[in-house]
């Protein structure tokens, strides 16, 4: 697992930093219920994953049925948190061993390291919106499920 450096902006309140770090602990501690502590009831996850319901409940289901099912040893290392009151950016990485189906790909036993970049809006110390971008193409390449076209294929 990559070492978590967690560089934090002094512009964020302690309550905001706590909300953000607890959000990622829901994955790392394999405890989706932590989302209820730090997400507003109408929290928006943008974009939703295929089949994901709205709000914290939708992500809780994804943590259990998708993330921990595919990567039972999943960890998230937060490398950097920066922002201003009410807004924060996070640079992190997801690691785990591909031991369950993910995106239709059967288990490979491969260790993955997925770059994660997210932006959060917070109000009253709780997350209200999260925009996220993960390197799923890198993960698919690592487990052998996606290969860029070859030079010959692109000539066809």
Q: What pLDDT is attached to residue 7?
A: 55
> Which position has the token pair 């990567």?
71
Residues of the chain with pLDDT under 70: 1-10, 148, 152-156
CA distances from 84 to 16, 87, 119, 120, 123 (A): 10, 5, 12, 11, 12
Q: How far apart are CA 86 and CA 16, in angstroms?
A: 8
Average pLDDT score, the chain: 92
Topology of domain 7-143, CATH: Nuclear Transport Factor 2; Chain: A, (3.10.450)
Hey, where are the domains in the chain? 7-143
pLDDT tens sequence across 13-54: 999 999 999 999 999 999 999 999 999 999 999 999 999 999
Number of neighbours of residue 12 by Cβ within 10 angstroms: 21
Q: How far apart are CA 90 and CA 83, in angstroms?
A: 9
pTM of the predicted model, to two decimals?
0.88
């Amino acid at each position: 697992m990559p070492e978590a450096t967690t560089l934090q902006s002094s512009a964020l309140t302690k309550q905001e930093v706590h909300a953000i770090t607890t959000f990622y602990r829901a994955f790392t501690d394999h405890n989706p219920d932590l989302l209820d502590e730090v997400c507003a009831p109408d929290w928006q996850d943008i974009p939703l994953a295929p089949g994901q319901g709205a709000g914290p409940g939708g992500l809780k289901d994804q943590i259990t049925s998708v993330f921990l099912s595919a990567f039972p040893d999943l960890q998230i290392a937060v490398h950097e948190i920066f922002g201003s009151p009410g807004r924060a950016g996070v640079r992190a990485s997801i690691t785990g061993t591909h031991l369950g189906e993910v995106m239709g790909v059967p288990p490979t036993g491969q260790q993955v390291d997925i770059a994660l970049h997210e932006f959060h809006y917070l109000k009253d110390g709780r997350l209200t919106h999260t925009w996220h971008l993960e390197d799923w193409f890198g993960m698919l390449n690592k487990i052998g499920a996606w290969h860029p076209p070859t030079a010959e294929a692109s000539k066809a």
